[in-house]
Amino acid sequence: MRHVARWVMHSCRLIKCLRDRNVEYNDKLVQSGDVDGAFEFFSLMLERNVRSWMVMIAGYVQCGKPKEAIHLFMEMEEARLRSNEVTVVAVRSACADLGDLDSGRRDARRVFDEMEERTIVSGSAMTAGLAMHGQAKEALRLFSKMVQIGMKPNDVSFIGLLHACSQLGMIDKECEFFNSMTRNYGIIPRIEHYGCMVDLFSRAGLLQEAYEFIMNIPSYQTSGVVWGALLV
């Protein structure tokens, strides 16, 4: 039994080593610009971990293929693999790139609609990505769709939502969303949420309201970022 246990441990280590080398090789293909070759190699992998998906998704973004990046992210979600922060950032960038295309907004929405397994991670990533790259109206529509199908927004969802409202000058709506974070969803505002609110008031020329809002922010949440939003 002891020999069997050692053999199993050795086999597991070997598999992990080979898997890590596969990811490293795939990353080298991506960095060299051969994203198509990287995808062929990725498709042949018998076992794919989060890192292997991340490398491929980020590679598509780097090589100017946002549609492929988002569709691969969709497959990753359907495989029930939990996205990491790097992957979500890559998807946000892909959404931003799609926003530069005539059909970008429709594509981002369609990708979300076609997901068999829609998650708050994918929805929030797309909402924030659209909002932070000039697609405020589409971000609001996507957020409404998420709520409509019963998804519970998280703190990242609201960062994108508040940013979108700020871009569109929707003062009353943004205040309503900000208050609903805690009241309806139990989300404690972070510095990013406070920054969006201050930015909204500043854009509207409501400097007194912005100042009063800052003074009511808990001291541990106040930073130069918030005051900077007032001065912009």
Structure confidence at residue 87 (pLDDT):
72
Structure confidence at residue 14 (pLDDT):
33
Answer whether 0.75 is exceeded by the pTM: no
CA–CA gap between residue 68 and residue 35 (Å, rounded): 11
Structure confidence at residue 8 (pLDDT):
34
Strand, helix or coil at 49? coil
Alpha helix ranges (H) inside 169-220:
171-185, 191-203, 207-215
Which range, 77-81, 85-89, 94-98, 131-135, has the best average confidence (pLDDT)? Answer: 77-81
Report the percent of the chain where pLDDT is more than 90. Answer: 9
* Burial of 219 (C-beta count, 10 Å sphere; 0-12/13-18/19+): exposed
Q: Which residues contact 93 (CB under 8 A, 6 or more apart)?
A: 61, 66, 129
What value does the mean pLDDT of the chain take?
76
pLDDT digits (tens, 9 = 90+) for 34-45: 888 888 888 888
Structure confidence at residue 11 (pLDDT):
35
Q: Are 134 and 104 in contact (CB under 8 A)?
A: no
Q: Are 198 and 213 in contact (CB under 8 A)?
A: yes
pLDDT digits (tens, 9 = 90+) for 2-44: 443 343 343 334 334 344 466 777 778 878 888 888 888 888 8
CA–CA gap between residue 87 and residue 69 (Å, rounded): 10
The better pLDDT of the pair 114, 82 is held by: 82
- CA 1 to chain centroid, in Å, comes to 47
Q: Are 161 and 196 in contact (CB under 8 A)?
A: no
